[in-house]
Structure 1
Amino acid sequence: MGKIVALTFLSLDGVMEHPVWTGPYFNADHAKYAHGQLFASDALLLGRITYEGFAAAWPHLEETEGEFAARMNTMPKHVVSTTLDQAEWTNSTVVRGDLATEVAKLQERYDRDVLVYASGELTNSLIELGLLDELKLWIHPVVVGTGKRLFPEGAGFTSWRLAATTSFNSGAVILDYRPAPVAEEP
């Protein structure tokens, strides 16, 4: 049974939107980690906005990004959307209906991870439904100041335990969390 794993780039102040600010920190160590996460996964689960951005970019990146781009383009992709009629990117399908039911089907279908990139609203929905098995926050040493944050004001209370950390010589760090029994809400 596959695990649902979210990997999200964040600034120190929690911004995830338009992560062009990650560029100066991305190096060979980052690439190796990202490669490992992608190749440990059987499929991608994406929100519509992330899907549309990826679908516009990745098909044109195989020449420069090699096997990583080839994997992105060929692996199964599932996009959660109530507005998208069809998914045009290779091996993509639109997920409709009850999210909990559809995610359970994906977990049964795949043996390895189902990777969620970015997709803040989807990640928050998965957390709210208790469907997220791992939350990997890739934090970059920059304060952006404005932009969409992963956890918006009013997000429900949840509790997590730190399972692992990965640090990079760039100053970025990945905090790898697992759901924990709910502690008392402050």
Structure 2
Amino acid sequence: MRKLVVIEYLSLDGVVQGPGHAAEDEDGGFDLGGWTGPHMADHREWGSPLYQAAGAFVFGRRTYDLWLPHWSTITDPDDLIAAALNGRPKYVASTTLTAATWPGTTVWPDRIPERVAELKAQPGGDILIAGSAALASDLIDRKLVDTYHLWFHPVVLGAGKRLFPPGLAPQQDLDLISSTTTRTGLAILTYERALNS
């Protein structure tokens, strides 16, 4: 059984909205986008092995649209993140996207939890969700996420979307597998869903 792996950038108060740049996600009047900027070098250094290990990627529509124009154009074979993203299957959950222009992409218009469960049952490497917090939260709620890579950034934002919003499924226990502190102060915590959850 393949694992579903989530990697998320969070503020210390649990916000995941708009980590990359100012206009990334302004829903609800959020104007604090780009808060991960000082840590980009650490993102690449510590994230690269996760992308290389993935056998497939699952995206929400917003993340897919943000990543497509950048990552799909990188042809440098030494860029291991781009090589993984461009060379492996990608699945995007969207009811409005009719055709995917990023080669290797399949659009999932419906039955997302069922499709994820079916993909997990197929042979191959683990399935990675990077960003796509709304999709990740839904799959967490349905107990489909197996491994969490939570990257806590040394910033408190006070407002914004959260990975674990109120109303998630009842208690889910996690086991801490590893913890790392990077040179710029990121705390990277890796958890697996406990067997009894």
Alignment TM class, shorter chain as reference: 0.7 to 0.9
Indicate conservation of the 8 Å contact 1:136/1:174, yes or no. yes
Partner of 2:59: 46
Q: Which structure shows the higher helix fraction?
A: 1
Moved more, 149-158 or 129-138: 149-158
Identity of aligned residues (%): 38
Runs of 5+ consecutive residues of structure 2 not aligned to the other structure? 20-33
Q: Aligned Cα RMSD in Å?
A: 2.1
Q: How many aligned positions are there?
A: 181
Partner of 2:186: 172
- Secondary structure of the structure 2 residue equivalent to 1:37: helix
- Asked if 1:144 corresponds to 2:151, the answer is no
Q: What are the Cα deviations for residues 65-117 of structure 1, in whole angstroms up to 9, with x where unaligned? A: 83322322232110112222222211111123323321122123342110001
Q: Distance in 2 between matches of 1:110 and 1:117?
A: 21
The 5 Å alignment of 1:101-140 reads 101-140=114-153
Q: Distance in 2 between matches of 1:110 and 1:42?
A: 9
Q: Distance in 2 between matches of 1:164 and 1:108?
A: 26
- Asked if 1:11 corresponds to 2:11, the answer is yes
Indicate conservation of the 8 Å contact 1:62/1:69, yes or no. yes
Partner of 2:50: 37
Q: CA deviation at 1:61?
A: 4.2
* Greater length-normalized contact order (CA 8 Å, ≥ 6 residues apart): 1
Indicate conservation of the 8 Å contact 1:138/1:174, yes or no. yes
TM-score computed with the length of structure 1 as normaliser = 0.87
Q: Distance in 1 between matches of 2:115 and 2:46?
A: 28
Q: What are the Cα deviations for residues 12-35 of structure 1, in whole angstroms up to 9, with x where unaligned? A: 1111111122121233x5423211
TM-score computed with the length of structure 2 as normaliser = 0.82
Q: CA deviation at 1:129?
A: 1.5
Partner of 2:23: none
Corresponding letter in the other structure for 2:192 = R
- Secondary structure of the structure 2 residue equivalent to 1:26: helix
